[in-house]
Amino acid sequence: MPDMDRIYHRTQAGNQAAACAHSGLPPAIRELLDSVGGATLFDEIAARLDRYDACDILARLEDLEAIGLVESVALEWLAELLQLGAHAPQPLAAAPR
């Protein structure tokens, strides 16, 4: 089971499923999918769904990830990248004329 120190986001398939009223997703799963936007911390998701147990939310997020509706990345991994000096690529400067 994934840990709680993760950032989640919906995939393209997850966005399509969330937008489709006839996707066949159970209401609780639809609610969970709706709580995940672009880079969303687990704590934010759990706060939006505070009537559910955090372990249950994690288990359902793992299910959604397994079927390709969400993806996640560990905060620890992002911190390591930052320590290594990884950053978003910068646009190339225009060549002098």
For the chain, which residues make up each domain, given as ranges?
6-83
- Predicted local confidence at residue 1, as pLDDT: 42
What is the reported pLDDT for 65? 95
> Which regions of the chain are under pLDDT 70?
1-3, 77-97
> What is the reported pLDDT for 94?
57
- Closest to 68 measured CA to CA, from 33, 40, 41, 38: 33
Structural element, H or E, at residue 70? strand 70-74
pTM for this entry? 0.75
Contact present, 7 and 72 (Cβ < 8 Å) = yes
Q: What pLDDT shows up at residue 2?
A: 47
User: Directed axis angle between helix 54-66 and helix 27-35, to 10°?
Assistant: 90
Please give the pLDDT value at position 80: 63
Q: What is the per-residue pLDDT for 92?
A: 59
